[in-house]
Amino acid sequence: MGAKAVNAEGSPTIDSRRWSKYSEQAHAAGPVRSAYNSWLNHSTSLGYMLRYQPPPARVLSIGCGSGNFDILLASHGYTVTSLDSDPAVLEAVERSARRFDVALDIRQGDAFDLKEFHDRYDISFSGGLVEHWNGTKTQQLIEEHARCAPRVQIEVPTRHVLLTEQIPDVIADAHLFKPGEFAERFKAAGLEVKKLYTLGGVPTRGREIVESITPPVLFRWFQRRTGYSMGIGCIATRRSR
């Protein structure tokens, strides 16, 4: 998503062009390869959405990027609105949706001002968005997600993404969260955390060794506790009144 906000108080405005470039590079790999990589990376995301908000359900995908996850959701029976601020990104998403023969409601909008979409969805989703605004801006984004749907699912990278061979420019301004810190942002936004989960194994030999000798339940607990993963996801709901 492009921005009409700042990254933490007093910091320069986010350069949305880097996000457009990142999306363009994903599509440049070819539609099948791009989609496969995205779907592989989003298998955990899909699993938790199916568990906590099964279809049929209305999903608002905020800062949809390549749109590949939205296509996967639509193929599972969700009604998906794909939202981004960049027209070029949305044009690419439209082409991909046609290529895979799925229907997406493609809209342009600002993640900080979603009045048009308030209370119209069952769940709002974003991945790789809110980490670009630390401090109070992160909370504002989460609150705006929750105004659109009673349930939200948001994913962010951890510091372990810095271990990848090619660190995308898009991560340059990101605040890399720890699990407990991320959960506190949802609580500050007035939401009740239902599930905190991890995404992707750290790409090191050390992780492979530790995972191979540790009972799976204990290793997953360790990941959630420390953020020993490539990303963190959180599913939260509005508090009952």
Q: Are strands 58-62 and 123-127 parallel, antiparallel or unpaired?
A: parallel
Residue 2 belongs to a domain = no
Residue 9 belongs to a domain = no
Q: Could you give the percent of the chain with pLDDT greater than 90?
A: 67
Rg (CA), the chain: 17
CATH number of the domain to which 89 belongs: 3.40.50.150
**pLDDT computed for residue 1 by the predictor:** 46
Residue 5 belongs to a domain = no
Mean pLDDT (the chain, rounded)? 87
Rounded Cα gap, residues 100 and 138, in angstroms = 33
**pLDDT computed for residue 120 by the predictor:** 98
Residue 231 belongs to a domain = yes
Residue 1 belongs to a domain = no
Answer for the pair 145, 218: CB distance below 8 angstroms, yes or no: no
pTM of the predicted structure, to 2 decimals: 0.85
Rounded Cα gap, residues 209 and 107, in angstroms = 45
Residue 78 belongs to a domain = yes
Answer for the pair 199, 232: CB distance below 8 angstroms, yes or no: yes
Rounded Cα gap, residues 25 and 65, in angstroms = 11
Closest C-alpha to 158, from 134, 125, 182: 182
Buried b / exposed e over 211-239, threshold 16 CB at 10 Å, is beeeeeeebeebbbeebbbbbbbbbbbee
Answer for the pair 23, 50: CB distance below 8 angstroms, yes or no: no
- Token duo for residue 137: 């801006």
Q: Work out how many domains the chain is built from and give that number.
A: 1
Q: Give residue 171's domain range.
A: 17-238
Residue 24 belongs to a domain = yes
Handedness of CA 187, 216, 199, 56 (dihedral sign): negative
Residue 33 belongs to a domain = yes
**pLDDT computed for residue 37 by the predictor:** 81
Rounded Cα gap, residues 181 and 31, in angstroms = 36
Residues 173-225: tens digit of each pLDDT: 788 999 999 999 999 999 999 999 999 999 999 999 999 999 999 999 999 99
Q: Is the pLDDT of residue 119 over 90?
A: yes
